[in-house]
């Protein structure tokens, strides 16, 4: 679609006040039919971009004003925020102890604190740390520096995993390795549903992830819990359409798995991307920072590509690194924020020592971190 037509489409269909007002009117009809005994309706999104859309466009305030019982809470939608401390510790250790090493990763990952500081701090001490936008940039660095040892720290959900997987499958330079911190969304939702007192009534499922994996990816989760779900995009109309769908399902006790992002998400998703992930990775139990180990929720480099697995290439170094006993800084409430148990503003450190400029916890560091987004738009 030409850019001119795309802008016209966005303004006409997805940012149009009349279109959004129509959705609000439908929501009001559903809202008045909610069981009077219900005093709070929690709907959880699991995507940092959804949080950004809510805050940037004032949608969170508008929804709370128009529908007092309705509250949107943020779930584990920030991959950098849930990357374990131990992975940061590995990266920091290798940057300082492995001669001729160059650590590459995304800007927010470089700022995430570990047990003994962040990669940013290691860079200040003289380690070679380079910010990249994708694994492609890191591979280019490796090819241009054959005498160096390039280590790519790779966090992310199903959205970014295919790019890493494709490079692994196609073959990487001999001086290159990947520290995979990739995580999967449905296993995290499954863990959330098992938390005592978790009273979320419906989910807004992530648009970016769903473009890759498709609607059917969530079938097992939905069939198990029969909880209202809607896949939503990122424009204001998309968000309200998703919320309206979930609210309607809750009101009439008719749970469904609905795709409200049909212009980008299909039933099966991107088969090529999924096949590449299946080939390059293996599913493993994985630690989510501050939350513990979630079964079958991580992606590790497949055994047949072990020559590029940082955990194996530098196994002797990694054995020397102590396992963290506490992944959460004193006073930090990131684990509770990530599972929607607490709003960022309820944390004693929020904008009181912890800010985007001087973050203490990972939720204030990650570009998709709930605390960071709330702080920016506060």
Name the pairing type of β-strands 281-288 and 292-301: antiparallel
Q: Quick one: average pLDDT of 87-91?
A: 98
Residue 1's pLDDT is 52
Clarify whether residues 177 and 190 are in a common domain.
no
Confidence of residue 2 (pLDDT cuts 50, 70, 90): low
Confidence of residue 100 (pLDDT cuts 50, 70, 90): very high
Clarify whether residues 181 and 131 are in a common domain.
yes
Closest C-alpha among 244, 307, 321, 300 to residue 72: 244
Residue 18's pLDDT is 84
Q: How many domains does the chain have?
A: 2
Residues belonging to the chain: 378
Element (H or E) spanning 150, and its range?
A: strand 149-156
pLDDT at residue 5 greater than cutoff 90? no
Provide the edge-to-edge strand list for the sheet that holds 129-131.
Answer: 129-131, 101-105, 149-156, 176-183, 292-301, 281-288
pLDDT digits (tens, 9 = 90+) for 197-243: 999 999 999 999 999 999 999 999 999 999 999 999 999 999 999 99
- Other CB atoms within a 10 A radius of the CB of residue 126 amount to 9
Alpha-carbon span 15 to 240, nearest angstrom: 11
Clarify whether residues 205 and 279 are in a common domain.
no
Q: Quick one: average pLDDT of 11-40?
A: 85
Clarify whether residues 74 and 84 are in a common domain.
no
CATH number of residue 238's parent domain: 3.40.50.11750
Clarify whether residues 210 and 277 are in a common domain.
no
Q: Is residue 351 part of a domain?
A: no
Q: Is residue 341 part of a domain?
A: no
Clarify whether residues 99 and 154 are in a common domain.
yes
Average pLDDT, the chain: 95
pLDDT at residue 16 greater than cutoff 90? no
Task: Look at residues 259, 291, 306 and tell me which one is the last residue of a structural domain.
Answer: 259
- Other CB atoms within a 10 A radius of the CB of residue 233 amount to 25
Cα 187 from chain centroid?
13
Between the CA of residue 321 and those of 18, 118, 338, 362, what are the distances in Å?
58, 15, 27, 21
DSSP state letters, 14-56: IS-HHHHHHHHHHHHHHHTTS-TT---EEEEE--HHHHHHHHH
pLDDT at residue 143 greater than cutoff 90? yes
pLDDT at residue 11 greater than cutoff 80? no
pLDDT at residue 267 greater than cutoff 70? yes
Q: Is residue 44 part of a domain?
A: yes
Q: Is residue 353 part of a domain?
A: no
Tokens 């030409």 locate to 2
Clarify whether residues 171 and 282 are in a common domain.
yes
Clarify whether residues 120 and 251 are in a common domain.
no
Clarify whether residues 107 and 163 are in a common domain.
yes
Name the pairing type of β-strands 149-156 and 129-131: unpaired
Alpha-carbon span 310 to 349, nearest angstrom: 35
Clarify whether residues 90 and 71 are in a common domain.
no
pLDDT at residue 154 greater than cutoff 60? yes
Q: Is residue 169 part of a domain?
A: yes
Helix (H, G, I), strand (E, B) or coil at 372: helix
CATH number of residue 122's parent domain: 3.40.50.11740
Alpha-carbon span 120 to 128, nearest angstrom: 10
Clarify whether residues 159 and 228 are in a common domain.
no
Contact call for residues 45 and 229 (beta carbons, < 8 A): no
Alpha-carbon span 237 to 279, nearest angstrom: 37
Confidence of residue 36 (pLDDT cuts 50, 70, 90): confident
Q: Is residue 372 part of a domain?
A: no
Clarify whether residues 72 and 93 are in a common domain.
no
Between the CA of residue 216 and those of 186, 226, 273, what are the distances in Å?
11, 14, 15
Q: Is residue 158 part of a domain?
A: yes
Q: Which residues constitute the domain of residue 84?
A: 80-185+269-318
Residue 8's pLDDT is 57
Residue 3's pLDDT is 54
Residues in contact with 79: Cβ distance below 8 Å, sequence separation at least 6, in sequence order: 155, 156, 157, 160, 181, 182, 183, 366, 368
Confidence of residue 4 (pLDDT cuts 50, 70, 90): low
pLDDT at residue 51 greater than cutoff 80? yes
Task: Look at residues 233, 259, 285 and tell me which one is the last residue of a structural domain.
Answer: 259
Q: Is residue 274 part of a domain?
A: yes
């Amino acid at each position: 679609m030409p850019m001119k037509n795309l802008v016209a489409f966005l303004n006409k269909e997805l940012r149009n006040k009349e279109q959004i007002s129509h959705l609000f009117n439908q929501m009001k009809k559903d809202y008045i039919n909610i069981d009077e005994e219900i005093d709070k309706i929690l709907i959880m999104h699991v995507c940092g971009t959804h949080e950004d859309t809510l805050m940037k466009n004032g949608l969170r305030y508008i929804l709370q004003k128009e529908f007092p019982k309705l509250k949107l809470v943020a779930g584990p939608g920030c991959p950098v925020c849930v990357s374990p401390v131990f992975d940061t510790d590995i990266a920091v250790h290798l940057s300082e102890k492995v001669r001729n090493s160059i650590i590459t990763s995304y800007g927010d990952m470089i700022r995430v604190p570990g047990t003994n500081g962040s990669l940013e701090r290691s860079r200040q001490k003289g380690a070679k740390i380079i910010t990249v936008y994708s694994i492609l940039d890191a591979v280019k660095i490796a090819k241009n520096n054959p005498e160096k040892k390039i280590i790519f720290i790779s966090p992310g959900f199903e959205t970014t995993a295919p790019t890493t997987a494709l490079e692994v499958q196609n073959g990487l330079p001999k001086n290159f390795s990947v520290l995979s911190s990739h995580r999967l969304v449905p296993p995290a939702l499954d863990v959330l549903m098992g938390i005592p007192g978790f009273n979320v009534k419906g989910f807004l499922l992530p648009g970016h992830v769903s473009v890759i994996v498709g609607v059917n990816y969530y079938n097992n989760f939905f069939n198990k819990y029969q909880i209202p779900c809607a896949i939503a995009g990122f424009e204001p109309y998309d968000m309200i359409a998703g919320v309206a769908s979930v609210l309607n399902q809750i009101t009439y006790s008719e749970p469904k798995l609905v795709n409200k992002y049909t212009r980008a998400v299909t039933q099966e998703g991107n088969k090529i991307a999924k096949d590449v992930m299946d080939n390059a990775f293996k599913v493993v139990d994985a630690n989510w920072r501050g939350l513990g180990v979630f079964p079958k929720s991580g992606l590790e480099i497949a055994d047949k590509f072990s020559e590029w697995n940082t955990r194996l290439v530098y196994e002797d170094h990694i054995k020397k690194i102590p396992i963290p006993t506490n992944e959460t800084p004193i006073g930090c409430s990131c684990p509770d924020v990530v599972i929607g148990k607490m709003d960022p503003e309820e944390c004693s450190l929020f904008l009181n020592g912890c800010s985007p400029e001087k973050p203490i916890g990972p939720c204030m560091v990650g570009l998709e971190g709930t605390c960071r987004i709330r702080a920016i738009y506060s």
